[in-house]
């Protein structure tokens, strides 16, 4: 683990505070990394700094040495007469003549503060040496030192958590980019395969003299190929939407017009399933965005509602303007969404394990595309649903001329 300059300077300032206000002439801070205590800040003595900075001490040696320590809150004190010698090769021993007093500080005395995170894990150590008055610390001095231990603990843990977060974000970005590239490659390869199969099937379907069994088999292959093409198109769209090097195409777009087209496109399928598909569009539903992406978003929501409706059901698509947003709602009275699945329906490739869902074809990409499109346009999408009670998807997108506030 690399300790950045900002954290090092913060720890140096804390060590300077120990010297200034806690009454010690030398203070140092070590950070625990992979079982080693890495000393990153030493203040008060040039010889101590020269010896200790970048020193790496196995934490197990400290643990052995502290087995004989007195415990003062977060402080640990090992008097010279109980020193075990486990740290002799890793500490700086000052040349000091002790006072002729019972509580005199001795050169081999060890006093440190243990720095823990909120989970109780050791993350570092604050070391002090050479009390200015030459005596082992009393209650008041320990109290002041405890305060600096808590400050050092807070600074160190905050910095380490920030570094952990940055690493996690970097890892997530790398994984997301890898997934995007894999999806991009697969969609390209599968698109070519699907096209070849479709061409072959279309050629065979027009051959004279085919028997009923062969014709039926070709129809099955044709249907499977169309489903494969649909999945490939979704994969390609998802890969495109995940690219950060392609700017969003922004044009004035009528969301109501896109809703009309989506309803017209899925009207025949709705009738075949015995589902009523209704549309309500209020005037003033224009916005700024990519017409192709927005069209896919609307189409996916309408297709989803029809697919998961039962015969006799109703799907309502509604577009209405608000003061700052254009609102699209797609409601159905179909099979609904289980509470446990509601927070995951927008994840890529997620499909519920519910039997009614599994009976319907799908790859779990349609709603992931919806969320990606909405997010890229500075909007929000939410779903209200319960199993057996239908679902309502609501999309709010900034109106034309409104600058979105993306959190």
Other CB atoms within 10 Å distance of the CB of residue 295 = 19
pTM above 0.75, yes or no: no
Whether 226 is covered by a domain: the verdict is yes
Question: How many domains, the chain?
Answer: 3
Same domain, 11 and 129: yes
Same domain, 134 and 199: no
Whether 93 is covered by a domain: the verdict is yes
Same domain, 39 and 57: yes
Same domain, 26 and 76: yes
Same domain, 217 and 302: no
**pLDDT tops 70 at residue 64:** yes
Q: What is the predicted pLDDT for the residue at 346?
A: 85
Same domain, 134 and 216: no
Same domain, 343 and 264: yes
Report the CATH number that the domain containing residue 235 is assigned in CATH: 1.20.58
Q: Which of 205, 223, 241 is the last residue of a domain?
A: 241
The 10s digit of each residue's pLDDT in 25-39 is 999 999 998 999 999
Whether 133 is covered by a domain: the verdict is yes
Same domain, 188 and 328: no
Q: What is the predicted pLDDT for the residue at 304?
A: 87
Q: pLDDT tier at 404 (50, 70, 90 boundaries)?
A: very low
Whether 406 is covered by a domain: the verdict is no
Q: Which of 165, 200, 227 is the last residue of a domain?
A: 165
Report the CATH number that the domain containing residue 277 is assigned in CATH: 3.30.565.10
Q: What is the predicted pLDDT for the residue at 314?
A: 92
Same domain, 23 and 153: yes
Same domain, 28 and 142: yes
Whether 35 is covered by a domain: the verdict is yes
Q: Which of 165, 199, 226 is the last residue of a domain?
A: 165
The 10s digit of each residue's pLDDT in 208-241 is 777 777 777 777 676 666 666 666 676 666 666 6
**pLDDT cut 70: percent of the chain above it:** 78
Same domain, 333 and 321: yes
Same domain, 278 and 228: no
What range does the domain containing 378 cover?
251-398
Report the CATH number that the domain containing residue 9 is assigned in CATH: 3.30.450.40
Whether 407 is covered by a domain: the verdict is no
In this predicted structure, which of 43-52, 55-64, 207-216, 374-383 has the lowest mean pLDDT? Answer: 207-216
The 10s digit of each residue's pLDDT in 238-277 is 666 666 666 677 888 999 999 999 999 999 989 999 999 9
């Amino acid at each position: 683990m690399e300790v950045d300059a900002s954290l090092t300077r913060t720890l140096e300032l804390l060590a300077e505070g120990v010297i200034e206000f806690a009454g010690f002439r030398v203070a140092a801070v070590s950070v625990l990394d992979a079982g080693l205590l890495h000393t990153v800040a030493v203040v008060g003595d040039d010889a101590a700094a020269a010896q200790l900075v970048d020193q790496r001490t196995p934490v197990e040696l400290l643990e052995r040495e502290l087995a004989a320590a007195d415990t003062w809150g977060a402080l640990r004190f090992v008097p010279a007469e109980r020193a075990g010698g486990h740290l002799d090769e890793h500490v700086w021993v000052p040349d000091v003549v002790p006072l002729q007093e019972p509580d005199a500080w001795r050169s081999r005395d060890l006093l440190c503060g243990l720095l823990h995170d909120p989970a109780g894990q050791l993350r570092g150590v604050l070391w002090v040496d050479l009390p200015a008055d030459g005596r082992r610390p009393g209650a008041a001095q320990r109290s002041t030192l405890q305060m600096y231990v808590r400050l050092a603990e807070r600074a160190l843990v905050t910095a380490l958590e920030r570094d952990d977060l940055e690493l996690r974000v970097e890892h997530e970005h790398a994984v997301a980019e890898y997934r995007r590239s894999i999806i991009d490659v697969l969609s390209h390869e599968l698109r070519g395969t699907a096209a070849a199969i479709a061409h072959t099937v279309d050629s065979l379907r027009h051959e004279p003299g085919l028997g009923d069994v062969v014709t039926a088999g070709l129809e099955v292959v044709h249907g499977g190929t169309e489903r494969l093409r649909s999945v490939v198109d979704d994969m390609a769209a998802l890969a495109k939407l995940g690219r950060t090097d392609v700017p969003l195409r922004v044009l004035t777009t009528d969301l109501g017009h896109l809703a009309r087209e989506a309803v017209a496109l899925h009207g025949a399928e709705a009738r075949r399933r015995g589902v009523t598909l209704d549309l309500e569009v209020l005037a003033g539903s224009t916005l700024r965005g990519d017409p192709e992406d927005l069209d896919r978003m609307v189409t996916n929501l309408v297709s989803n509602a029809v697919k998961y409706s039962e015969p006799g059901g109703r799907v309502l698509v509604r577009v209405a303007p608000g003061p700052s947003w254009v609102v699209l709602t797609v409601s159905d009275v179909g099979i609904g969404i289980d509470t446990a699945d509601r927070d995951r329906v927008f994840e890529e490739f997620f499909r519920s394990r519910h039997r009614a869902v599994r009976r319907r074809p799908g790859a779990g990409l349609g709603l992931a595309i919806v969320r990606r499109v909405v997010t890229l346009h500075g909007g929000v999408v939410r779903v209200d649903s319960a199993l057996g009670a239908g679902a309502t998807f609501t999309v709010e997108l900034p109106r034309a001329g409104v600058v979105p506030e993306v959190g």
